[in-house]
Amino acid sequence: MRPGTFARIAQAAAIGTALPVLLLAYLSGLDAGVSGVPGEDSCTRCHSGPAGSGSVTVTFPGALTYTPGARQHLVVIITDSAEKRWGFQLTARQANSTSTQAGTFAASADGYTQLVCTQTNFRSQAFGNTCATNGMPLEYIEHTQSGSRLGTAGAVTFEFDWTPPATNAGNLTVYIAALAANGDNSEHGDHTYTAKYTLTPASVGPTPGPTPVPAISSGGVVNAASFQPGVSAGSWVTIQGSNLAGSTRAWSSSDFAGGALPTELDGVSVKIDGKPAYVAFISPAQINVQAPADSALGPVPVEVTYNGSTSPPGTAQLQAVSPAFFLWSGKYAVATRPDFSLAAGAGLFQGVDTVPAKPGDVVILWGTGFGATNPAVTPGVVPPANPVANVANPITVTIGNIAATVVGAAVSPGIPGLYQIAAQVPDSVPDGDLAVVAQVSGIQSSSSVLLSVKR
């Protein structure tokens, strides 16, 4: 089975700048892993047809070099005189390790491109405009549904930005697979093209001076879903500040040892109440970690260490539980139906099919900090798929201040610290954007989080 097959119903995302853990969504576009990277796949697996007379090329600004951390504007050109619908997927990897992501992409403002992020086992993925905060280490850029431009004949271009790794990573390889299709909505009669480019590091000037001391912003340790102060053991935590890291990346499979989550990425580590946290994402201004096991309650110190320099302590407010829902567009709960379609107001995302929840619908709300499970899941390990780790303490949910039936609540299999709360929308709720609030062990989630409901 090719990479991404399991992820057709993919991990949803849009946690804004919060957490690198993904949630579920279905978007137009290719599954991750079809750009032609060795050991992965390309468009030729699904689209068949006689050899075409076209091509795919990528133009880079200047020579095939990169300056660490310096953004480049790339242009993809697909030509084929016989076809009239278009698509592509491109990624960048370290030349000496094709499983290691090289840099990050930024989708274009014209809506023709989007990012798709995935785990190294390709069992889950997420689409959107950023992969920087979702904890999936492999990143691809590809066409959107509008970018396919049905009816455009001869050739099309796609433009976007790529930022290489912040430090010299040796030679990098850019892989691309492109599709020139006949637009008949089948997999037949289409032409596929592939290309790859090797980029070498440019001179980066004199050796930099000492690493600046990391600093945590005042009030900069928050729940990664709600961005409120309360956090708890095993919940996802966002740390904001400056000089927190020298690179931007999420964890990858090579960072795990014996199934344990990493406590350090690229010289960056975090301690909460003196205990190592599990580092999922780093950047100079933000780090995302899973909080370690801890029985303490109240304010505790948080320290970030980068390349031997440790920050002055920040403060985390430890609670027994810290229930919070991840957000779309800063205010809507990330919510899906059991078939993983998005339960959200129409038009919330450009080019994405979103439908509000209806009274009687069961919606899955995605969050963190809901506390102990049965069987127990220890922070720092990947939750098993079997048996499912159900939330140990009773959870209540209200939608529009009306009690909803909680169908189930559990940690998402395979994704540390991510909870799925399934609740049925009450029949009596009105249409509109309604507050959705959960409570566990006497602590409520934020009352400002909304769910769109429409009959």
Report the candidate in 194, 237, 229 with the shortest Cα–Cα distance to residue 18.
Answer: 237
Predicted pLDDT at 451: 97
Answer yes or no: is 148 within a domain. Answer: yes
Indicate if the pLDDT at residue 8 is higher than 50.
Answer: no
Within this chain, do residues 109 and 226 fall inside the same structural domain, yes or no?
no
At 37 the three-state DSSP class reads coil
Q: What percent of the chain has pLDDT over 90?
A: 57
Q: What is the mean pLDDT of residues 360-377?
A: 96
Better-scored residue on pLDDT, 297 or 266: 297
Distance of CA 66 to the CA centre of its chain: 25
**Residue 364: pLDDT band with limits 50, 70, 90:** very high
Task: Tell which residue, 421, 412, 425, has the closest CA to residue 451.
Answer: 425
Domain final residue, candidates 201, 227, 243: 201
**Residue with structure tokens 């339960």?**
343
Please give the distance of CA 408 from its chain centroid, rounded to a whole number: 24
Q: Indicate whether 237 and 315 sit together in one domain.
A: yes
d(CA 395, CA 405): 10
Asked whether 59 and 78 are in contact (CB, 8 A), the reply is no
Query: How many H-runs (helices) and E-runs (strands) does the chain carry?
Result: 0, 39
Domain range for residue 31? 5-201
Residue among 177, 171, 165 at smallest CA distance from 140: 177
pTM for this predicted structure: 0.60
The answer to the question of residue 247 being in a domain is: yes
The CB density around residue 447, as the number of other CB atoms within 10 Å, is 11
- Under DSSP, is residue 343 helix (H, G, I), strand (E, B) or coil? strand
Residue 220: which pLDDT band, with cuts at 50, 70 and 90? very high
| CATH code at position 142 | 2.60.40.680
Contact 280, 20 (CB under 8 A): yes
Three-class DSSP labels, 206-247 = CCCCCCCCCEEEEEEEEECCCCCCEEECCCEEEEEEECCCCC
Residue 335: per-residue pLDDT: 94
**Is residue 212 pLDDT above 90, yes or no?**
no
Domain count, the chain: 3
Q: Which of 37-41, 202-206, 331-335 has the highest mean pLDDT?
A: 331-335
Per-residue model confidence (pLDDT) at position 27: 31
Mean pLDDT along residues 155-175: 93
Most confident of 25-29, 320-324, 343-347: 320-324
Q: Are 15 and 133 in contact (CB under 8 A)?
A: yes
The position carrying tokens 């559990």 is 410
Distance CA 125, CA 7 (A): 6
Cα 377 to Cα 383: distance, rounded to the nearest angstrom: 6
Distance CA 221, CA 214 (A): 14
Residue 107 pLDDT: 87
Mean pLDDT of 94-101: 90
Percent of the chain with pLDDT over 70: 86
Dihedrals phi, psi of 377, to nearest 5 degrees: -120, 120
Calculated CA dihedral for residues 120, 412, 130, 219, nearest 10 degrees: -120
Is pLDDT larger for residue 321 or for residue 204? 321
Q: Same domain for 128 and 151? A: yes
Residue with tokens 């890291």: 245
Tally Cβ neighbours within 10 Å of residue 155. 15
Whether 276 has a pLDDT exceeding 50, the answer reads: yes
Mark whether 297 and 272 lie in a shared domain: yes
Same domain? For 292 and 411 the reply is: no
Q: Which of 144-158, 170-184, 246-260, 434-448 has the highest mean pLDDT?
A: 434-448
| Structural domain ending residue among the three candidates 201, 236, 257 | 201
Length of the chain in residues, anyone? 455
Least confident range from 143-147, 237-241, 275-279: namely 143-147
Considering the domain boundaries, does residue 266 fall inside one?
yes
Label the pairing between strands 354-355 and 342-343. parallel
CA distance linking residue 196 with residue 172, whole number of Å: 10
| 54 is a domain residue | yes
Higher pLDDT among residues 58 and 211, named by residue: 58
Task: Kindly report the three-state secondary structure assignment for every residue of 115-168.
Answer: EEEECCCCCCEEEECCCCCCCCCEEEEEECCHHHCCCCCEEEEEEEEEECCCCC
Alpha-carbon distance values, 148 to 121, 174, 181 (Å): 28, 21, 9
**Pairing mode, if any, of strands 286-290 and 236-242?**
antiparallel
- The Cα 261–Cα 257 span in angstroms is 7
Dihedral sign (CA 448, 451, 452, 453): negative
Q: Is residue 206 part of a domain?
A: no
Average pLDDT across the chain, whole number: 85
**Single-letter amino acid code for the residue at 103:** G
Closest CA to 303 of 265, 267, 277: 277
Q: Is the pLDDT of residue 442 over 60?
A: yes
Instruction: Indicate whether 176 and 48 sit together in one domain.
Output: yes
Say yes or no: 295 and 336 in one domain: no
Residue 433 belongs to a domain: yes
Looking at the fold, whether 343 and 440 belong to one and the same domain comes out as: yes
Average confidence (pLDDT) over 78-89: 91
User: Considering the domain boundaries, does residue 276 fall inside one?
Assistant: yes
In a domain, 221, yes or no: yes
Paired residues of 158 in beta bridges: 76
For residue 218, give every residue at least 6 positions away whose Cβ sits within 8 Å of its Cβ, in sequence order, or none.
Answer: none
**pLDDT score at 396:** 98
- Which pLDDT value is given to residue 350? 74
Measure the CA–CA gap between 88 and 148, rounded to whole angstroms: 9
| 271 and 401 belong to one structural domain | no
Residue where one domain finishes, among candidates 179, 201, 223: 201
pLDDT at res. 15:
26
Residue 449 has pLDDT above 80, yes or no: yes
Domain match, 17 and 146 both: yes
* Least confidently predicted of 22-26, 35-39, 84-88: 22-26
Name which of 35-44, 161-170, 269-278, 367-376 the model is least confident about: 35-44
Residues 366, 325 contacting (CB under 8 angstroms)? yes
169 and 41 housed in the same domain: yes
pLDDT at residue 77 is higher than 60: yes
pLDDT of residue 289: 96
Same domain as 398, residue 270: no
Q: Which residue has the higher pLDDT, 278 or 122?
A: 278
Identify whether the C-beta of residue 297 lies closer than 8 Å to the C-beta of residue 371. no
